[in-house]
Amino acid sequence: MITAAPMTRTPRRPWQFMVGLLARFGLSGRTLVIAAPTLWLLVFFVIPFAVVCKIALSEAVLARPPYLPLLEWTDDGRMILTLNFSNFQFLAQDTLYIAAYLNSLKIAFFSTVFALIIAYPMAYFIARSAENTRNILLMLVILPFWTSFLLRVYAWIGFLKGNGVINNFLMSTGIISDPLPMLHTEFAVYLGIVYTYLPFMILPLYANLAKLDIAMLEAAADLGARPMTTFFTVTLPLSIPGIVAGSMLVFIPAVGEFVIPALLGGPDTLMIGRVLWDEFFSNRDWPVASAVAIAMLFVVVLPIMLLRNAQSASEAM
Amino acid sequence: MGDQLVDTERPIAADTKPWRDPNATPFVRIKNVTKKFGDVIAVNNVSLDIFKGELFCLLGGSGSGKSTLLRMLAGFEELTSGTIEIDGQDMADVPPYRRPVNMMFQSYALFPHMNVAANIAYGLKRDGIGRDEIDDRVQELLHLVKLSGYEKRKPHQLSGGQRQRIALVRALARRPKLLLLDEPLGALDKKLREETQFELVKIQETLGVTFIVVTHDQEEAMSLATRIGVMDEGNIEQIGEPRDIYEFPNSRSVANFIGSANMFEGQVIEDEHDHLRIRSNEIGGDIYVGHGVACAPGQTLWFALRPEKIQLQRGKPDQDANFARGTVDDVIYLGDVSTFRITLESGKTILVTKPNVARSDEDNISWDETVYAVWGNEAGAVLTS
């Protein structure tokens, strides 16, 4: 009876005919499911990236499109491939680009640190609050996303400018006599980035801290650790995955951020996103702009890959 | 065994029974302790004295308040009212990290990011002990639970039994005066649990630490404890040595919770100083008890009779009380004993166990036979509540 059961049982799966149809072409459902995201990444990431690489290796001209093709047919029937690495050399030589890269990394790094310092207590508090208030607090964290990112950054201009909300308030109370220069400074850029990306730090931290077993904290207290010691020896080390995830989500977009430095930053706030923009639209030097983009990719991707390797190595220990 | 761990100042307390000495000073003094969570009373006016070197078991079902009481001793819950004194010191304003108490958690709560040695050393580091001494003590403790060589393992690389032992020595590392154990064997399988029970008792006797164990498993409580406190709905129902609790329960809830008991309801018809006669419709006859009980004629009483205290026979016994006639419903062979389920003429079902002395018994009482269940004058406990 038992051995016969799988043979006699007819599964009612209405998509069965599809499976048969696909099998005729040597495909299975599994292949299809994997093919969908692969195709998506191919069309919208790999091919555009190849195009960017191609432009980065070509020479700029005043034409339309503003670069020379890589492959050329000569009259005597030969094909010539010209790879122009001068754009990358140019990046290395011109201090503007290196300064912009370094400054982007610096601003992204400190923004991440500030966001972490602000987000950690918030995430901890949300994770430790009662079930029903917890959902409301999480809602409040996500709420700003319902307003356009651009509008929120514009709103900060209204706060920070010379006759903005903050300066007007401070002058009316007599604390200051002249408006503080806040808009178009690096401070404003930090403020904008931290404000915008804070939810991306809070949410992974919250997810991590919410599953922290209270018994761990009690065990530490029981073994003689004061609350501070418990935090640094138990809570913090156990929340490292959350810290890493949140920091990545803030750091990576912050490096390439264009809107915030463009709107809130001053003329001396050099960030690679702005340089890229200027290269494309003001200089119309597409090859150099593409080279900048590729270099930026490596600047961001390499440390992440190293970090991931270090992480998986420490987990395997 | 590490010599340093043995408390040499005091003889081993295994055979002494300080709770029988009215002049003994208790080590832990719980006085009128109540704990409320909102409107729910988790622990209701509990008073309890525990003596040095005891292995005290708090036994109760889930929601009986036993774990809450333990957490109050550790300092994780504040008292709603009452006082807790440990070694003569009031614990009211003492935070968990300053109490001379350590706890072994039900989930073990080992720190997953630290290896075994770091877990054990955690409490010692907080006490500011030197690195060399910490290493020595960690070795000594690992030796105590036969896990030497496991220092570098992470908790997730250990088996359940190994984790349990590491949790135990981590709690013992600071040499607490009092060790609290929350369902210490709950996560282990039956075989391992039986082995570990004996180890736990041995370690407790060797170190002379006072243990308070919370458990829902009455067998575990029986085999571990010097004394048991049975808890139900936030109250302590009875405190006593395992034998007292089993043979002389003071209420129906205790008798039912510890082991199994046949419970008969009846009315007092003869109340003398040397004996008591109870008429019970459930039995269809009288219960004769060979000692006096404080009660009034006509009062309703309950009689708790353990299954192993009843004999079965085919012929009618030659006595005017302490027997009941019934039909065998079921015989359950359990190897060491057989359990008989018998329906009395009143319709009540009772359980009788009989040790299987011989390897085969042709003449054994079997299904559908009419039998007499017989017991002695002192076989059961008379309960007034």
DSSP string, A46-93: IHHHHHHHHHHTS-B-SSSSSB--SEEE-TTS-EEE---THHHHHHHH
Domain count, chain B: 2
Q: Is A233 on the interface with B (CB under 8 A)?
A: yes
- Please check whether residues B236 and B360 belong to one and the same domain: no
Is residue B198 in some structural domain?
yes
Please judge whether A221 and B96 are an interchain contact, meaning their C-beta atoms are less than 8 angstroms apart: yes
Is residue B121 in some structural domain?
no
**Interface with B, mutate which of A208, A223, A229 (most B CBs under 10 A):** A223
Work out the minimum CA distance from A202 to partner chain B, whole angstroms. 23
Give residue B83's pLDDT: 94
- Please check whether residues B91 and B189 belong to one and the same domain: yes
Give residue B4's pLDDT: 46
Q: Residue with structure tokens 């065998």?
A: B328
Distance CA B322, CA B157 (A): 59
The closest CB to that of B126, out of A229, A237, A238, belongs to A229
More confident residue, A20 or B230: B230
CATH of the domain at B10: 3.40.50.300
- Please check whether residues B248 and B266 belong to one and the same domain: no
Average pLDDT over residues B21-33: 88
Work out the minimum CA distance from B297 to partner chain A, whole angstroms. 55
- Please check whether residues B242 and B275 belong to one and the same domain: no
Within 8 A of A221 by CB-CB distance, chain B residues are 75-76, 95-97
Cβ contact B91:B85 at 8 Å: yes
- Closest Cα in chain A to B102: A222
Average pLDDT over residues B37-54: 92
Beta-carbon pairs below 8 A across chains A and B: 58
**Burial grade of B149 (CB within 10 A; 0-12, 13-18, 19 or more):** exposed
- Tokens standing for residue A74: 């000569």
Sequence-separated (6 or more) residues with CB below 8 Å from residue B105 = A215, A218, A219, B167, B182
Q: What's the distance, Cα to Cα, between the start and end of chain A in Å?
A: 49
Within 8 A of B103 by CB-CB distance, chain A residues are 218-219, 222
Distance CA A125, CA B209 (A): 38
**Interface with B, mutate which of A222, A232, A236 (most B CBs under 10 A):** A222
Q: Is A243 on the interface with B (CB under 8 A)?
A: no
Residues of B with CB under 8 A from a CB of A: 74-76, 95-98, 101-103, 105, 107, 109-113, 122-123, 126-127, 154, 170-171, 173-174
Please judge whether A219 and B95 are an interchain contact, meaning their C-beta atoms are less than 8 angstroms apart: no
Please judge whether A219 and B101 are an interchain contact, meaning their C-beta atoms are less than 8 angstroms apart: no
- Please check whether residues B206 and B297 belong to one and the same domain: no
Measure Cα distances from B89 to A22, B22, B86, B99, B295 in Å: 78, 21, 5, 10, 42
Q: Is the pLDDT of residue B13 over 70?
A: no
Give residue A47's pLDDT: 95
The closest CB to that of B105, out of A215, A237, A238, belongs to A215
Is residue B232 in some structural domain?
yes
pLDDT single digits (tens) B191-209? 888 888 888 888 888 888 9
What is the maximum alpha-carbon separation in chain A? 94
Distance CA A204, CA A218 (A): 24
Give residue B6's pLDDT: 46
Is residue B107 in some structural domain?
no
Please judge whether A226 and B97 are an interchain contact, meaning their C-beta atoms are less than 8 angstroms apart: yes
- Please check whether residues B183 and B271 belong to one and the same domain: no
Q: Is the pLDDT of residue B221 over 60?
A: yes
Is residue B123 in some structural domain?
no
- Please check whether residues B207 and B94 belong to one and the same domain: yes
- Please check whether residues B271 and B378 belong to one and the same domain: yes
Structural domain ending residue among the three candidates B221, B252, B283: B252
Distance CA B163, CA B109 (A): 10
Q: Is A218 on the interface with B (CB under 8 A)?
A: yes
- Please check whether residues B222 and B343 belong to one and the same domain: no
Please judge whether A233 and B76 are an interchain contact, meaning their C-beta atoms are less than 8 angstroms apart: no
pLDDT single digits (tens) A259-276? 899 899 888 888 888 888
Is residue B75 in some structural domain?
yes
Q: What share of chain B has pLDDT > 70, as a percent?
A: 96
Work out the minimum CA distance from B219 to partner chain A, whole angstroms. 27
Amino acid identity, position A162: G
Helix (H, G, I), strand (E, B) or coil at B337: strand
Structural domain ending residue among the three candidates B234, B252, B270: B252
All domains in chain A, ordered by first residue: 12-81 (no CATH), 94-284 (1.10.3720.10)
What one-character DSSP code corresponds to residue A231?
I
Name the residue range of residue B46's domain.
3-100+176-252
Give residue B16's pLDDT: 66
Within 8 A of B154 by CB-CB distance, chain A residues are 317
pLDDT single digits (tens) A73-101? 888 888 888 888 888 888 888 888 889 98
The closest CB to that of B107, out of A215, A222, A225, belongs to A215
Q: What's the distance, Cα to Cα, between the start and end of chain B in Å?
A: 48
Q: Residue with structure tokens 């310092």?
A: A117
Within 8 A of B78 by CB-CB distance, chain A residues are none
Residues with pLDDT less than 50, chain A: 1-6, 317
What does the buried/exposed string (b/e) look like for A69-99 if buried means 16 or more CB atoms within 10 Å of the residue's CB?
eeeeeeeeeeeeeeebeebbeebeeeeebee
Please judge whether B122 and A223 are an interchain contact, meaning their C-beta atoms are less than 8 angstroms apart: yes
Structural domain ending residue among the three candidates B236, B252, B268: B252
The closest CB to that of A224, out of B105, B113, B174, belongs to B174
Strand partners, B370: B327
More confident residue, A298 or B96: B96
Within 8 A of B174 by CB-CB distance, chain A residues are 223-224
Amino acid identity, position A221: A
Please judge whether A233 and B122 are an interchain contact, meaning their C-beta atoms are less than 8 angstroms apart: yes
Sequence-separated (6 or more) residues with CB below 8 Å from residue B58 = B66, B69, B70, B212, B213, B214, B215, B228, B229, B231
- Please check whether residues B91 and B41 belong to one and the same domain: yes
CATH of the domain at B327: 2.40.50.140
The closest CB to that of B113, out of A218, A226, A238, belongs to A238
Q: Of A183, A186, A238, nearest to A216 (Cα)? A: A238
Please judge whether B109 and A237 are an interchain contact, meaning their C-beta atoms are less than 8 angstroms apart: no
Signed CA dihedral, A257, A258, A260, A266: sign only: positive
Give residue A92's pLDDT: 86
Give residue B103's pLDDT: 95
- Please check whether residues B230 and B302 belong to one and the same domain: no
Please judge whether A223 and B101 are an interchain contact, meaning their C-beta atoms are less than 8 angstroms apart: no
Cβ contact B342:B323 at 8 Å: no
pLDDT single digits (tens) B153-187? 999 999 988 999 999 999 999 999 899 999 998 87
Is residue B372 in some structural domain?
yes
Is residue B223 in some structural domain?
yes
Average pLDDT over residues B69-80: 94
Distance CA A312, CA A254 (A): 25
Sequence-separated (6 or more) residues with CB below 8 Å from residue A259 = A149, A150, A153
Please judge whether A213 and B109 are an interchain contact, meaning their C-beta atoms are less than 8 angstroms apart: yes
- Tokens standing for residue A21: 């149809």
- Please check whether residues B318 and B234 belong to one and the same domain: no
